Amino acid sequence: MILKSGECFQGEVGKPSGLTDVDGNDLYIGDIVLLLNLDDYDKSHNRITCQCGLEYVCQNSKDCNYDEDTFVMGIKSSYQNHNGEITQDDDWKVFKVKSYEDIVVGEKWGVVRAVSK
């Protein structure tokens, strides 16, 4: 199985990504992760706002004019990969919620879908 976004190859499912989540779990291409970002406390409305969503762990493709680096879809520009550690510059937290072993052909999260090779 592979991942695609439109016609762009986004990685071979099950390949190690070299990334880990906040709990230290190894992430693989095709794993589904929960992205969580707690915004600053909003004093004017007395609340804390939260952004979250489910996304795939992906790998860029030279076919689509990108380096073959691994990333979490949706927050690639918000963190940097330092020796497999995701550092969330914008307070993003990444939690593995589903293994690549459990995804099925046609499963879509965000703009990425799993397809047969």
Tens digits of residue pLDDT in 2-58: 999 988 889 999 999 888 888 889 999 999 998 887 665 555 666 555 667 889 999
User: What's the one-letter identity of residue 65?
Assistant: N
Instruction: Please identify which residue in the block is written with the tokens 């693989």.
Output: 28
pLDDT value at residue 53: 81
pLDDT value at residue 77: 59
In contact, 18 and 86? CB cutoff 8 Å: no
- Total H helices, total E strands in the chain: 0, 12
What is the pLDDT confidence band of residue 70, given thresholds at 50, 70 and 90? confident
Position with higher pLDDT, 105 vs 87: 105
In contact, 32 and 45? CB cutoff 8 Å: no
What are 39's two structure tokens?
A: 């915004």
What are 36's two structure tokens?
A: 């969580």
Considering Cα of 24, then 25, then 28, then 29, what sign does the dihedral take? Answer: negative
Of 79, 108, 77, the residue nearest 94 (C-alpha): 79
